Amino acid sequence: MNALGTAVPLQRFLVRTDSLVVALTSVVAYPSGCQFGFRVAARASALDRADHRQLRAAFLGDYSDLSEPRPPDGPFRCGIRLADGTKVSSVDDPPFWDPTSPMRPEGPVLVEFSSLGTHIEADGMWCGPGYWLWPLPPPEPFALVVDWPAAAIPQTEVELDGAAIVAAGGAAESLWPDDAHRD
Amino acid sequence: MSFFEPTAPRPARQQPPWYGPPEDVLGSPVPIKRILARSETVVVALTDIVAYPSGCQFSLQLAARRGTLSDDQWRDLRELVFGERWPAECDEMLRCGVQFADGTKATNVDSRPIWDTPESYAPAPPVFIEAGGGGGEAGDNQLRSSRGFWLWPLPPPEPFTFAVEWSGAGVELTMTEVDGAAIVTASQAAEPFWPAPS
Protein backbone atom coordinates (compact mmCIF):
# COMPACT_ATOMS: atom_id res chain seq x y z
CA MET A 1 0.00 0.00 0.00
CA ASN A 2 1.56 3.26 -1.13
CA ALA A 3 -0.88 5.66 0.51
CA LEU A 4 -1.05 7.61 3.74
CA GLY A 5 -4.57 7.19 5.08
CA THR A 6 -6.72 10.10 6.16
CA ALA A 7 -8.47 10.07 9.53
CA VAL A 8 -12.18 10.87 9.31
CA PRO A 9 -13.67 12.45 12.45
CA LEU A 10 -16.55 10.01 12.92
CA GLN A 11 -15.72 8.84 16.44
CA ARG A 12 -18.76 8.21 18.64
CA PHE A 13 -20.26 6.00 21.30
CA LEU A 14 -22.37 3.11 20.04
CA VAL A 15 -23.15 1.68 23.47
CA ARG A 16 -22.68 3.61 26.70
CA THR A 17 -24.05 2.25 29.94
CA ASP A 18 -22.86 2.61 33.51
CA SER A 19 -20.69 -0.48 33.10
CA LEU A 20 -19.97 -0.91 29.40
CA VAL A 21 -18.87 1.20 26.45
CA VAL A 22 -18.56 0.42 22.77
CA ALA A 23 -16.99 3.34 20.93
CA LEU A 24 -15.98 3.84 17.33
CA THR A 25 -12.61 5.45 17.98
CA SER A 26 -11.19 5.85 14.50
CA VAL A 27 -12.03 5.72 10.82
CA VAL A 28 -9.09 5.96 8.43
CA ALA A 29 -9.75 6.18 4.69
CA TYR A 30 -7.49 5.07 1.84
CA PRO A 31 -8.12 5.12 -1.90
CA SER A 32 -9.02 1.43 -1.81
CA GLY A 33 -11.00 1.10 1.42
CA CYS A 34 -11.17 2.15 5.03
CA GLN A 35 -10.32 0.97 8.52
CA PHE A 36 -12.64 1.08 11.54
CA GLY A 37 -11.20 1.01 15.06
CA PHE A 38 -13.30 0.29 18.14
CA ARG A 39 -12.82 0.32 21.89
CA VAL A 40 -14.97 -2.02 23.98
CA ALA A 41 -14.50 -1.32 27.69
CA ALA A 42 -16.12 -2.50 30.92
CA ARG A 43 -15.47 -1.24 34.41
CA ALA A 44 -15.44 -3.73 37.22
CA SER A 45 -16.88 -1.44 39.88
CA ALA A 46 -20.22 -1.26 38.07
CA LEU A 47 -20.58 -5.02 37.51
CA ASP A 48 -21.87 -7.72 39.81
CA ARG A 49 -19.84 -10.88 40.08
CA ALA A 50 -21.87 -12.88 37.55
CA ASP A 51 -21.81 -10.15 34.92
CA HIS A 52 -18.09 -9.61 35.48
CA ARG A 53 -17.47 -13.33 35.00
CA GLN A 54 -19.53 -13.39 31.79
CA LEU A 55 -17.75 -10.37 30.36
CA ARG A 56 -14.35 -11.73 31.29
CA ALA A 57 -15.22 -14.97 29.51
CA ALA A 58 -16.29 -13.04 26.41
CA PHE A 59 -13.16 -10.86 26.38
CA LEU A 60 -10.93 -13.92 26.78
CA GLY A 61 -12.98 -16.15 24.47
CA ASP A 62 -12.94 -18.82 27.19
CA TYR A 63 -16.40 -19.74 28.44
CA SER A 64 -15.42 -22.82 30.45
CA ASP A 65 -15.92 -21.12 33.86
CA LEU A 66 -19.51 -20.09 33.17
CA SER A 67 -22.38 -21.91 34.84
CA GLU A 68 -25.14 -23.61 32.87
CA PRO A 69 -27.13 -22.44 31.06
CA ARG A 70 -24.30 -20.64 29.37
CA PRO A 71 -24.95 -17.46 27.42
CA PRO A 72 -24.11 -17.48 23.70
CA ASP A 73 -20.42 -17.42 22.88
CA GLY A 74 -18.53 -15.92 19.97
CA PRO A 75 -16.62 -12.75 19.10
CA PHE A 76 -17.52 -9.08 18.86
CA ARG A 77 -19.21 -8.65 15.50
CA CYS A 78 -19.15 -5.70 13.14
CA GLY A 79 -21.14 -5.26 9.98
CA ILE A 80 -22.00 -2.79 7.25
CA ARG A 81 -25.36 -2.33 5.54
CA LEU A 82 -25.31 -0.12 2.46
CA ALA A 83 -28.27 1.93 1.26
CA ASP A 84 -29.06 -0.62 -1.47
CA GLY A 85 -29.40 -3.36 1.15
CA THR A 86 -25.99 -4.96 0.53
CA LYS A 87 -24.64 -6.40 3.79
CA VAL A 88 -21.24 -7.62 4.88
CA SER A 89 -20.00 -8.63 8.30
CA SER A 90 -16.81 -9.56 10.07
CA VAL A 91 -18.06 -13.10 10.59
CA ASP A 92 -18.78 -13.76 6.91
CA ASP A 93 -16.32 -16.10 5.22
CA PRO A 94 -13.93 -13.80 3.36
CA PRO A 95 -13.81 -14.50 -0.38
CA PHE A 96 -10.69 -15.99 -1.92
CA TRP A 97 -8.41 -13.12 -2.91
CA ASP A 98 -5.17 -13.63 -4.80
CA PRO A 99 -3.19 -10.40 -4.37
CA THR A 100 -1.00 -11.29 -7.35
CA SER A 101 -4.02 -11.44 -9.65
CA PRO A 102 -5.82 -8.40 -11.07
CA MET A 103 -9.09 -10.18 -10.31
CA ARG A 104 -10.90 -8.82 -7.28
CA PRO A 105 -13.82 -10.21 -5.30
CA GLU A 106 -17.17 -8.63 -6.00
CA GLY A 107 -17.08 -6.99 -2.60
CA PRO A 108 -17.72 -5.57 -0.22
CA VAL A 109 -15.34 -7.39 2.12
CA LEU A 110 -15.02 -6.73 5.87
CA VAL A 111 -12.19 -8.46 7.72
CA GLU A 112 -10.60 -8.08 11.15
CA PHE A 113 -7.43 -6.02 10.82
CA SER A 114 -5.01 -4.35 13.16
CA SER A 115 -6.74 -5.13 16.43
CA LEU A 116 -5.29 -3.82 19.69
CA GLY A 117 -5.66 -7.00 21.73
CA THR A 118 -7.44 -7.66 25.01
CA HIS A 119 -6.50 -6.15 28.37
CA ILE A 120 -7.91 -7.40 31.65
CA GLU A 121 -7.04 -5.54 34.82
CA ALA A 122 -8.40 -5.31 38.35
CA ASP A 123 -10.55 -2.29 37.64
CA GLY A 124 -11.87 -3.34 34.28
CA MET A 125 -11.17 -4.74 30.85
CA TRP A 126 -10.99 -3.46 27.32
CA CYS A 127 -10.28 -4.63 23.82
CA GLY A 128 -9.70 -2.78 20.56
CA PRO A 129 -11.04 -4.67 17.56
CA GLY A 130 -10.29 -3.20 14.14
CA TYR A 131 -11.69 -3.94 10.69
CA TRP A 132 -10.84 -3.25 7.08
CA LEU A 133 -13.65 -2.54 4.60
CA TRP A 134 -12.94 -3.00 0.90
CA PRO A 135 -13.76 -1.14 -1.27
CA LEU A 136 -14.77 2.32 -0.03
CA PRO A 137 -18.50 2.59 0.66
CA PRO A 138 -20.73 4.56 -1.73
CA PRO A 139 -20.76 8.33 -1.02
CA GLU A 140 -24.01 8.22 0.90
CA PRO A 141 -25.15 7.30 4.40
CA PHE A 142 -24.72 3.67 5.44
CA ALA A 143 -25.27 1.68 8.61
CA LEU A 144 -22.48 0.43 10.86
CA VAL A 145 -23.81 -2.40 13.00
CA VAL A 146 -22.23 -4.10 16.01
CA ASP A 147 -23.24 -6.68 18.55
CA TRP A 148 -21.61 -9.10 20.95
CA PRO A 149 -24.10 -11.58 22.37
CA ALA A 150 -21.46 -13.19 24.58
CA ALA A 151 -20.94 -9.86 26.33
CA ALA A 152 -24.69 -9.08 26.40
CA ILE A 153 -24.17 -6.24 23.93
CA PRO A 154 -27.34 -6.01 21.83
CA GLN A 155 -27.36 -5.24 18.13
CA THR A 156 -26.71 -1.54 17.77
CA GLU A 157 -26.38 0.49 14.62
CA VAL A 158 -25.34 4.00 13.74
CA GLU A 159 -25.44 5.88 10.48
CA LEU A 160 -22.11 6.96 9.06
CA ASP A 161 -21.43 9.48 6.32
CA GLY A 162 -20.07 7.54 3.34
CA ALA A 163 -19.45 10.78 1.45
CA ALA A 164 -17.02 11.97 4.15
CA ILE A 165 -15.15 8.66 3.98
CA VAL A 166 -14.95 8.71 0.19
CA ALA A 167 -13.72 12.32 0.23
CA ALA A 168 -11.05 11.41 2.78
CA GLY A 169 -10.03 8.37 0.73
CA GLY A 170 -9.54 10.62 -2.27
CA ALA A 171 -7.34 12.91 -0.18
CA ALA A 172 -4.97 10.10 0.80
CA GLU A 173 -1.45 11.06 -0.11
CA SER A 174 1.09 8.83 -1.86
CA LEU A 175 4.03 7.83 0.32
CA TRP A 176 6.35 7.88 -2.69
CA PRO A 177 4.88 9.91 -5.57
CA ASP A 178 7.30 8.24 -7.99
CA ASP A 179 5.65 4.90 -7.28
CA ALA A 180 2.66 4.53 -9.57
CA HIS A 181 1.00 2.01 -7.28
CA ARG A 182 -1.14 4.35 -5.17
CA ASP A 183 -3.50 2.18 -3.11
CA MET B 1 -8.21 -13.29 67.24
CA SER B 2 -7.80 -13.51 63.54
CA PHE B 3 -4.28 -13.67 62.20
CA PHE B 4 -5.22 -11.73 59.10
CA GLU B 5 -6.43 -8.18 59.35
CA PRO B 6 -9.59 -7.17 57.46
CA THR B 7 -8.72 -6.12 53.96
CA ALA B 8 -9.66 -2.65 52.93
CA PRO B 9 -10.72 -2.27 49.30
CA ARG B 10 -7.77 -1.22 47.22
CA PRO B 11 -8.11 2.09 45.45
CA ALA B 12 -8.44 1.72 41.70
CA ARG B 13 -5.11 1.92 39.92
CA GLN B 14 -4.61 5.36 38.48
CA GLN B 15 -2.46 5.71 35.41
CA PRO B 16 -0.32 8.82 35.81
CA PRO B 17 -1.43 11.47 33.32
CA TRP B 18 2.06 11.81 31.83
CA TYR B 19 2.26 8.14 30.93
CA GLY B 20 -0.23 7.91 28.08
CA PRO B 21 -3.72 8.64 26.86
CA PRO B 22 -6.45 7.95 29.42
CA GLU B 23 -8.03 4.54 28.95
CA ASP B 24 -11.55 5.76 29.69
CA VAL B 25 -11.94 8.79 27.46
CA LEU B 26 -13.04 8.92 23.82
CA GLY B 27 -10.47 11.24 22.31
CA SER B 28 -11.19 13.78 19.63
CA PRO B 29 -9.22 13.62 16.36
CA VAL B 30 -7.48 16.68 14.99
CA PRO B 31 -7.40 16.85 11.18
CA ILE B 32 -3.65 17.17 10.87
CA LYS B 33 -1.82 14.86 8.49
CA ARG B 34 1.66 15.48 7.17
CA ILE B 35 4.53 13.75 5.48
CA LEU B 36 7.24 14.79 7.96
CA ALA B 37 10.19 13.39 6.08
CA ARG B 38 10.70 11.36 2.92
CA SER B 39 13.80 9.80 1.46
CA GLU B 40 14.33 7.34 -1.36
CA THR B 41 13.71 4.46 1.05
CA VAL B 42 11.74 5.72 4.07
CA VAL B 43 8.80 7.94 4.90
CA VAL B 44 7.93 9.35 8.31
CA ALA B 45 4.36 10.62 8.38
CA LEU B 46 2.14 12.13 11.02
CA THR B 47 -1.16 10.38 10.37
CA ASP B 48 -3.28 12.00 13.04
CA ILE B 49 -3.41 13.61 16.45
CA VAL B 50 -6.04 12.65 18.99
CA ALA B 51 -6.73 15.20 21.70
CA TYR B 52 -7.77 14.50 25.29
CA PRO B 53 -8.28 16.89 28.20
CA SER B 54 -4.92 15.86 29.67
CA GLY B 55 -2.76 15.78 26.53
CA CYS B 56 -2.63 14.53 22.99
CA GLN B 57 -1.40 11.51 21.10
CA PHE B 58 0.58 11.74 17.87
CA SER B 59 0.33 8.75 15.53
CA LEU B 60 3.29 8.29 13.24
CA GLN B 61 3.53 5.95 10.33
CA LEU B 62 6.97 4.68 9.36
CA ALA B 63 7.20 3.19 5.89
CA ALA B 64 10.15 1.75 4.01
CA ARG B 65 10.63 0.33 0.54
CA ARG B 66 13.48 -1.84 -0.51
CA GLY B 67 14.44 -0.34 -3.85
CA THR B 68 18.03 -1.30 -4.52
CA LEU B 69 19.02 -2.08 -0.91
CA SER B 70 21.12 -5.18 -0.29
CA ASP B 71 19.91 -7.97 1.98
CA ASP B 72 21.97 -6.60 4.88
CA GLN B 73 20.81 -3.03 4.35
CA TRP B 74 17.19 -4.18 4.17
CA ARG B 75 17.58 -6.18 7.40
CA ASP B 76 19.11 -3.16 9.14
CA LEU B 77 16.28 -0.94 7.97
CA ARG B 78 13.67 -3.45 9.13
CA GLU B 79 15.22 -3.44 12.61
CA LEU B 80 14.97 0.34 12.70
CA VAL B 81 11.40 0.49 11.39
CA PHE B 82 10.20 -1.98 14.01
CA GLY B 83 12.36 -0.56 16.82
CA GLU B 84 14.40 -3.74 17.20
CA ARG B 85 17.87 -2.21 17.07
CA TRP B 86 20.30 -3.00 19.86
CA PRO B 87 20.08 -0.26 22.52
CA ALA B 88 23.76 0.65 22.16
CA GLU B 89 22.86 2.03 18.76
CA CYS B 90 19.92 4.06 20.00
CA ASP B 91 21.23 7.22 18.38
CA GLU B 92 20.12 5.61 15.14
CA MET B 93 16.55 5.18 16.36
CA LEU B 94 13.68 7.45 15.49
CA ARG B 95 13.91 10.58 17.61
CA CYS B 96 11.09 13.05 17.81
CA GLY B 97 9.69 15.72 20.04
CA VAL B 98 8.08 19.11 20.34
CA GLN B 99 9.29 22.63 20.99
CA PHE B 100 6.94 25.38 22.07
CA ALA B 101 7.16 29.08 21.25
CA ASP B 102 8.81 29.84 24.60
CA GLY B 103 11.61 27.40 23.80
CA THR B 104 10.43 24.58 26.08
CA LYS B 105 11.25 21.16 24.61
CA ALA B 106 10.15 17.58 25.25
CA THR B 107 11.42 14.55 23.32
CA ASN B 108 11.21 10.80 23.35
CA VAL B 109 14.94 10.79 24.10
CA ASP B 110 14.36 12.61 27.40
CA SER B 111 11.37 10.60 28.58
CA ARG B 112 11.75 7.66 30.94
CA PRO B 113 9.55 4.59 30.54
CA ILE B 114 7.33 3.91 33.53
CA TRP B 115 9.10 0.63 34.34
CA ASP B 116 12.27 2.63 34.81
CA THR B 117 10.77 5.01 37.35
CA PRO B 118 9.89 4.77 41.05
CA GLU B 119 6.22 4.90 41.99
CA SER B 120 6.60 8.45 43.23
CA TYR B 121 8.15 9.65 39.96
CA ALA B 122 6.49 12.85 38.82
CA PRO B 123 8.25 14.32 35.81
CA ALA B 124 8.06 18.02 35.18
CA PRO B 125 5.84 18.86 32.23
CA PRO B 126 5.96 18.71 29.33
CA VAL B 127 6.56 15.01 28.71
CA PHE B 128 6.77 13.40 25.27
CA ILE B 129 6.79 9.63 25.57
CA GLU B 130 6.21 6.64 23.33
CA ALA B 131 2.73 5.27 24.01
CA GLY B 132 0.37 3.20 21.96
CA GLY B 133 0.99 2.51 18.33
CA GLY B 134 2.36 -0.86 17.43
CA GLY B 135 1.43 -3.12 14.63
CA GLY B 136 2.70 -3.06 11.12
CA GLU B 137 3.25 -5.00 7.97
CA ALA B 138 6.42 -6.57 6.66
CA GLY B 139 6.50 -7.61 3.03
CA ASP B 140 9.41 -8.58 0.82
CA ASN B 141 9.78 -5.04 -0.50
CA GLN B 142 7.79 -2.80 1.84
CA LEU B 143 7.55 -2.26 5.58
CA ARG B 144 5.07 -0.26 7.61
CA SER B 145 5.00 0.38 11.32
CA SER B 146 2.73 2.51 13.48
CA ARG B 147 4.20 4.40 16.42
CA GLY B 148 2.35 6.48 19.00
CA PHE B 149 3.71 9.33 21.14
CA TRP B 150 1.93 11.02 24.02
CA LEU B 151 2.39 14.69 24.85
CA TRP B 152 1.43 15.75 28.38
CA PRO B 153 -0.10 18.20 29.07
CA LEU B 154 -1.82 19.85 26.10
CA PRO B 155 0.38 22.25 24.15
CA PRO B 156 -0.23 26.01 24.36
CA PRO B 157 -2.93 27.18 21.91
CA GLU B 158 -0.42 28.49 19.40
CA PRO B 159 1.86 27.08 16.70
CA PHE B 160 4.62 24.78 17.91
CA THR B 161 7.33 22.71 16.29
CA PHE B 162 7.28 18.96 15.82
CA ALA B 163 10.81 17.70 15.24
CA VAL B 164 11.89 14.36 13.85
CA GLU B 165 15.32 12.93 13.16
CA TRP B 166 16.17 9.38 12.20
CA SER B 167 19.84 9.18 11.41
CA GLY B 168 19.86 5.41 11.04
CA ALA B 169 17.38 5.67 8.19
CA GLY B 170 19.00 8.71 6.59
CA VAL B 171 16.42 11.23 7.80
CA GLU B 172 17.99 14.51 8.89
CA LEU B 173 16.46 16.77 11.51
CA THR B 174 13.17 18.03 10.12
CA MET B 175 10.91 20.60 11.76
CA THR B 176 7.19 20.86 11.06
CA GLU B 177 4.81 23.47 12.45
CA VAL B 178 1.69 22.12 14.17
CA ASP B 179 -1.37 24.13 15.19
CA GLY B 180 -1.61 23.94 18.99
CA ALA B 181 -4.90 25.87 19.00
CA ALA B 182 -6.58 23.15 16.89
CA ILE B 183 -5.43 20.52 19.40
CA VAL B 184 -6.68 22.47 22.39
CA THR B 185 -10.03 23.10 20.68
CA ALA B 186 -10.42 19.43 19.78
CA SER B 187 -9.64 18.36 23.34
CA GLN B 188 -12.84 20.04 24.49
CA ALA B 189 -14.85 17.53 22.43
CA ALA B 190 -13.28 14.49 24.13
CA GLU B 191 -15.80 12.57 26.22
CA PRO B 192 -15.25 10.41 29.29
CA PHE B 193 -16.59 6.87 28.97
CA TRP B 194 -18.31 6.91 32.32
CA PRO B 195 -20.37 9.68 33.87
CA ALA B 196 -18.68 11.49 36.74
CA PRO B 197 -19.86 10.27 40.17
CA SER B 198 -22.66 12.48 41.42
Domain at B34-115+122-190, CATH from 3.30.310, 3.40.50, 2.60.40, 1.20.1440: 2.60.40
Instruction: Specify the pLDDT at position B137.
Output: 78
pLDDT tens profile A126-179: 999 999 999 999 999 999 999 999 999 999 999 999 999 999 999 888 898 887
**Burial class of B80 by CB neighbour count within 10 A (0 to 12, 13 to 18, 19+):** buried
Pick from A6, A5, A10: which is nearest to A144 by CA? A10
Determine the average pLDDT of the residues in A29-55. 93
pLDDT band at A117 (very low <50, low <70, confident <90, very high): confident
pLDDT band at A182 (very low <50, low <70, confident <90, very high): very low
CATH number of the A3-174 domain: 2.60.40
Instruction: Specify the pLDDT at position A88.
Output: 94
Ordered by start, the domain boundaries in chain A are: 3-174
3-class SS of residue B86: coil
Q: Hey, of B14, B28, B39, B48, which one would you mutate to test binding to chain A, going by the most A CBs within 10 A of its CB? A: B48
Question: ipTM, 2 decimals?
Answer: 0.85
Ordered by start, the domain boundaries in chain B are: 34-115+122-190
pLDDT band at A123 (very low <50, low <70, confident <90, very high): confident
Which chain B residue is nearest to residue A46, measuring alpha carbons? B194
Would you call A98 an interface residue with chain B, using a CB distance cutoff of 8 Å? no
Q: Tell me whether residues A4 and B35 touch, CB distance under 8 A.
A: yes
- Chain A residues 29-48 within an 8 A CB cutoff of chain B: 39, 41, 43, 45-46
Say if residue A59's pLDDT is above 80: yes
Instruction: Specify the pLDDT at position B91.
Output: 75
Torsion of CA B91, B123, B129, B181, to 10 degrees: -120
Q: Among partner residues B23, B29, B135, which is closest to A126 by beta-carbon distance?
A: B23
3-class SS of residue B103: coil
| Cα–Cα dist A100/B71, whole Å | 23
What are the mean pLDDT values of chain B's consecutive 10-residue runs (198 residues total)? 78 79 94 90 94 96 92 89 69 91 93 68 89 78 91 98 92 95 97 81
HSE value, Cβ hemisphere, 13 Å, CA-based, for B8: 3
Contact B159, B101 (CB under 8 A): yes
Looking at every residue in chain A, the average pLDDT score rounds to 89
Closest-CA distance, A72 to chain B, in angstroms, reads: 26
Instruction: Specify the pLDDT at position A99.
Output: 65
Q: What is the DSSP string of A152-174?
A: TEEEEEEEEEHHHHHHHHHTPEE
pLDDT tens profile B149-162: 999 999 999 999 99
